[in-house]
Amino acid sequence: MTIASTLGYPRIGRRRELKAALESYWSGQSDEAALLAAAARLREAARTRQQGSGISHIPSGDFALYDHVLETALAFGAIPPGYGWDGEGPASLATLFALARGARGTAAERAAGIAPEAPALEMTKWFDTNYHYLVPRLGPDTQFRLVQDRWTEALREGLAAGTRTRPVVLGPVSFLLLAKGAEGTAPLALLPRLLPAYAALLRNLAEAGAAWVQLDEPCLVTDLPPGAAESYRTAYRALAEAAPGLGLLLATYFGGLEENLPLAAALPVTGLHLDLARAPEQLAPALEVLPRDRWLSLGLVDGRNVWRTDLRAALGLARQAAEAGFGQRLMVGPSCSLLHVPHSLAEETALDPTLKRRLAFAEEKLAEIALLAKGVTEGDAAIAAALAESDAAVAAARQDARLHDPAVAARLAAVTPEMERRESPYAERAKAQQARLKLPPLPVTTIGSFPQTAEVRALRAKLARGEITTAEHDAGLARLTEAAVRWQDEIGVDVPVHGEFERNDMVKYFAEQLAGYAFTKHGWVQSYGSRCVAPPILWGDVARPAPMTVRWAAYAQSLTQLPMKGMLTGPVTMLQWSFVRTDIPREAVCRQIALAIRDEVADLQASGIAIIQIDEPAFREGLPLRRAAQPAYLRWATACFRLAASVAADATQIHTHMCYSEFNDIIAHIAAMDADVISIETARSDMELLRAFAEFDYPNAIGPGVWDIHSPRVPGAEEMAGLLRRAAARVPVERLWVNPDCGCKTRGWAEVRPAVENLVHAARRLRAEAVG
């Protein structure tokens, strides 16, 4: 008997109901009861959907109001002081949201004892996904206790509705490895304190009637730090003893176990889940070492991408496991939680039917899982029709001529090494650029976007509804752009931007103008909290039929004598923030995009734009989890950037921008991108990034962000000047730029105006000091 299972389900709701409920609660339009009721409805819908699709092991406790890592920390009482928790019982919603979003200074927060300045916890990417989790902050005084048993509550909720679910808990070792220790605390050292709380949880679950619990340990697919293997052994020995009758499923995902396989296989758990979408090759070695009394859970359906499963191939892997002796103890499921894919294809009525036939979102993936379980248990004949349909889809995809554009192939084949190199080295380019641009020292610029105000959004919405014509819409954009350019000119910005009012999304705007991309209507995936993204689907060869940005850039340039900066999204980011085809390597897809962006750079340059910024905020997140795989990625990712940029003549200045970029460890590769200027986020980390420059002599120009645009706070000119002075101690002033951390699209003009003026004043102060 093979069990159909899932590891986690999207939380946001088919129509982003969670987003609506959260935003309504935050704005004070609805109360706690309404928010909790909306959440309960979403959990119920997820249960019903999974059950109705034939899944027997349905997850619970995978839902979170904001983030499952934060809610795990709260459940175990790992709550820093200052957030209004008195040390007893469940934390309030006010505490939860203050940790998630920072204190807002409301009366309710004050009443709850939350410090008015309490900042949000640090947020970072969940492994190599575009989901963000909140990093638990643990200190020497952290005491763990199960203060809110959210998992037993979730189990009971399912039982009351007649469903025995499988609680999903972030495992203790991954929890600690994902946390941050304050005041010299090594999180892993806190394991002995944490384990009793986990043991209490497992006992509660067993007592409440759980048969299985899923313990997520995705860190097992990474290079483990010293001590982690021993922590795993200690932890699972304790957990196995805590509730002997309870089935413990150790879930690993986002890659293969590799050298951690013997460790995982030897842990005293009931079953092991393997990600066979990312790492199908790990099945054979796992079958060799895994004791035959274990259950084996096979992640056959890709939880990270939107492509339909090749049922016959997946069935082959499952049979291999059954024949190796796991036939009576086999589960099939998604590779990881389905959190990372959109809800349903059902409502995507506008998708090209041939493409749609190749896709599977969460709901469709459930059906695939049920079919696979049936096929393994009853044989191919039992799912003959579905197998035939799957085979046909695979064959159709292979034969689809639309996937391959011979012109793209020809251009790629003709790429020479010279095309990936600028004409002259940086020092010479810098001279040519300075002769042309005549910029003052410490030039002031911004990252590209200006506030996406209600007016901007209304223009877009009215055009979409057909209430205004394209000409009216564009006239509105032109007005906004003109005002932005004139203002920058007036206040003394050295390199103005046009403001990106025409763009709703930095990837979609370009993808819509490129061949090879398709778009969903409701393909939302949670990025963090209420924030969702709808990644485009990159299904075919990428080509650029016509210029994409020249019109707005040239218009903006016509309004000023200053050098207008042209704005592009880089190839790596276009790749990272899309659902990407899997029939050719990611590197090949990225090179196609690079050629398209290269064409745009050439056209901008030809139209007289002298400075072009190619944003790569997703460069860091593309880095493979395993160190061994990183050099290859870094090689092709930097090469793709250079391929896009190197059509620029010496006197054309190439900028790039990165945000959330902890790249102290990859600084040499950032340098290898050879952008003339890089702007990076640093204000929030208090110039922490600059430490990298102590060890590595970054050769080109750099603009460390001196205004944290994530916060509504407007820093004064002196504060910015202070940060610049610190930067100037590490980077020669001739190579220093003055800019914010990121684009200003999420801010209002009331903040942007004074902040950018302060940037100008700060730069002037520093210039005066430098000149003497």
Q: Tell me how far CA of residue 220 lies from CA of 68, 582, 662, in angstroms.
A: 19, 25, 22
The region of 19-27, 344-352, 407-415, 441-449 touching ligand GLN under the rule CB under 6 A is 441-449
The region of 294-302, 390-398, 532-540, 742-750 touching ligand GLN under the rule CB under 6 A is 742-750
Per DSSP, the three-state class of 4 is strand
CA 138, CA 79: separation in Å to the nearest integer?
A: 8
Q: Does 565 bind ligand GLN (CB under 6 A)?
A: no
Determine which residue in the list 597, 702, 706, 742 makes contact with Zn ion, applying CB under 5 A.
Answer: 742
Count CB neighbours of 509 within 10 A. Answer: 16
Q: Does 659 bind Zn ion (CB under 5 A)?
A: yes
What phi and psi, each to the nearest 5 degrees, are found at residue 278?
Answer: -75, -35
Least distance (Å) from ligand GLN to the CB of residue 658?
7
Q: Does 448 bind ligand GLN (CB under 6 A)?
A: yes
710: annotated active-site residue: yes
Kindly state the tokens that stand for 450.
């200006």
Q: Does 568 bind Zn ion (CB under 5 A)?
A: no
Count CB neighbours of 310 within 10 A. Answer: 16
The residue written with tokens 């339909």 in the block is 308
Determine which residue in the list 322, 742, 756, 763 makes contact with ligand GLN, applying CB under 6 A.
Answer: 742
The region of 82-90, 319-327, 651-659, 754-762 touching Zn ion under the rule CB under 5 A is 651-659
Least distance (Å) from Zn ion to the CB of residue 711?
14
**DSSP H or E run through 399:** helix 384-399
* Closest residue by Cα to residue 194 from 76, 40, 66: 76
**Maximum alpha-carbon separation in the chain:** 85
The residue written with tokens 């819409």 in the block is 473
Please say whether the beta carbons of 766 and 724 come within 8 A. yes
Q: Which of 273, 498, 655, 710 is catalytic?
A: 710
Determine which residue in the list 50, 204, 231, 449 makes contact with ligand GLN, applying CB under 6 A.
Answer: 449
Q: Tell me how far CA of residue 518 lies from CA of 354, 378, 427, 528, 535, in angstroms.
A: 12, 37, 42, 24, 10
Q: Does 372 bind ligand GLN (CB under 6 A)?
A: no
Please say whether the beta carbons of 327 and 296 come within 8 A. no
CA 730, CA 637: separation in Å to the nearest integer?
A: 27
In the window 641-670, what residues touch ligand GLN (CB under 6 A)?
657, 659
Determine which residue in the list 301, 456, 506, 756 makes contact with ligand GLN, applying CB under 6 A.
Answer: 506
Q: Judged by CB under 6 A, how many residues of this single chain contact ligand GLN?
A: 13
Continuous H helices in 243-361: 261-266, 283-289, 311-321, 353-356
**DSSP H or E run through 194:** helix 191-208
In the window 582-641, what residues touch ligand GLN (CB under 6 A)?
615, 617
Determine which residue in the list 294, 343, 429, 745 makes contact with ligand GLN, applying CB under 6 A.
Answer: 745
Determine which residue in the list 333, 622, 715, 743 makes contact with ligand GLN, applying CB under 6 A.
Answer: 743
Sign of torsion over alpha carbons 204, 209, 73, 299: positive
Specify the residue, 520 or 739, whose C-beta has the smaller distance to Zn ion.
739
The region of 117-125, 481-489, 699-707, 738-746 touching ligand GLN under the rule CB under 6 A is 738-746
Residue 506's binding partner, choosing from Zn ion, ligand GLN, none, with beta-carbon cut-off 5 to 8 A by kind?
ligand GLN
What type of residue sits at position 677?
V
Least distance (Å) from Zn ion to the CB of residue 703?
12
Least distance (Å) from ligand GLN to the CB of residue 503?
8
**Residue closest to ligand GLN, measured at CB:** 743
Which residues contribute to the site for ligand GLN (CB under 6 A)? 447-449, 500, 506, 567, 615, 617, 657, 659, 742-743, 745
Which residues contribute to the site for Zn ion (CB under 5 A)? 617, 659, 742
The residues annotated with a catalytic role in the active site are 710
